[in-house]
Structure 1
Amino acid sequence: MKAFIPLLCLIALPLWAQDAPEGWAVYPTQKPYAELVDATKAAIKENGLIVVTQAGPTKAAAARGISIPGNRVIGAFNNDYAVRVLETSVHAMIEAPIRFYVTENKDGTSNLSYKTPSFVFAPYVSEGGQNLMDIAAELDSTFQSIAERAVK
């Protein structure tokens, strides 16, 4: 029976990911929420970015007596990328930091999701051109590395 559970998880993985909006990367995990939040922040640092912002309604709701699943948005970027993006498109910089989204499931597992940087910056390609898309492609690779490390 224990061998059957991972098989079910592998089958469910594509189904959950199919529900994600266009442009999103989704990584369902067996990790508890708090562990995935910590692992995501550590992976961001390990991959040369910094945690620029964090926000989530879970603690504030608890302070109001409302229990909701864990929910945290973690913005990641660095100054090198900021300067490079600004050289291509002032308007595109509104998208920084690009965010990871950690959500807790009812069964105690959690998911790591994000909009791919290429998707995030696509509306600005007419201003930023190929240089902006090259930066976005670099960030796509970095974000994928962060996600893979965090969910390990």
Structure 2
Amino acid sequence: MLLRYLTFAAIFAWPAAAQDVADMAPRDGWVVAATPKPFDALVEQTRASAQVGGLAVVTVAGPTGAAAGRGIDIPGNRIIGLFNNDFAVRILRLSTAAMIEAPIRVYVTENTDGTATLSYKLPSAVLAPYVTEAPALSDIAEELDAAFAAVAQAATQ
């Protein structure tokens, strides 16, 4: 009986707790750059800045619009996948498994004060699990770190 009560309480408590999410916090292996820009402006500037790093926008996804269509209001949330064919070919020559990580994503989130944050996992952290089987991936990961830093710099200034 107690287990049923706890399960019931957890199910109904979860949505309330899930809506009380803080702004994106720094974490190991990530770059987290809070900006004064509003969400939509940071999304557009990030997409436009991909070319600064020699990358292209490959994917765009986010739950905000679909949630609004269901009558649910959540903060702006957009995932933008960035990559290019040169990196893809070079990675595939070294590790078929590592290509599961492409495109590498940046994450634009709306903060509680109406500003937005640009975050991403460092490509070197994303590719690290594959370096033991293909040590040359670390060189490509460093190039990708620099490319993503250039995108982030251009998008957030």
TM-score (norm 2): 0.83
1:35 aligns to 2:41 (yes or no): yes
Q: Larger % of helix: which? A: 1
Aligned residue number for residue 119 of structure 1: 125
Aligned residue number for residue 11 of structure 1: none
Partner SS, residue 21 of structure 1: coil
Structure 1 stretch 41-50 or stretch 73-82: which is displaced more? 41-50
Verify the 8 A CA contact 1:58 1:71 in the aligned structure 2: yes
Residue correspondences, number: 136
Partner SS, residue 26 of structure 1: strand
Which consecutive segments of 4 or more residues in structure 1 shift more than 3 A? 16-19
CA drift of 1:18 comes to 9.7
1:104 aligns to 2:87 (yes or no): no
Partner SS, residue 31 of structure 1: strand
CA drift of 1:127 comes to 1.3
Deviations 1:56-89 (A, max 9, x none): 0000000000010000000000100000001111
Of 138, 144, 148, the residue aligned with 2:143 is: 138
If you compute each CA radius of gyration, which structure gives the higher value, 1 or 2? 2
Computed over aligned residues only, the root mean square deviation of the Cα atoms, in angstroms, reads 1.6
CA drift of 1:22 comes to 1.4
Aligned residue number for residue 50 of structure 1: 56
1:89 aligns to 2:100 (yes or no): no
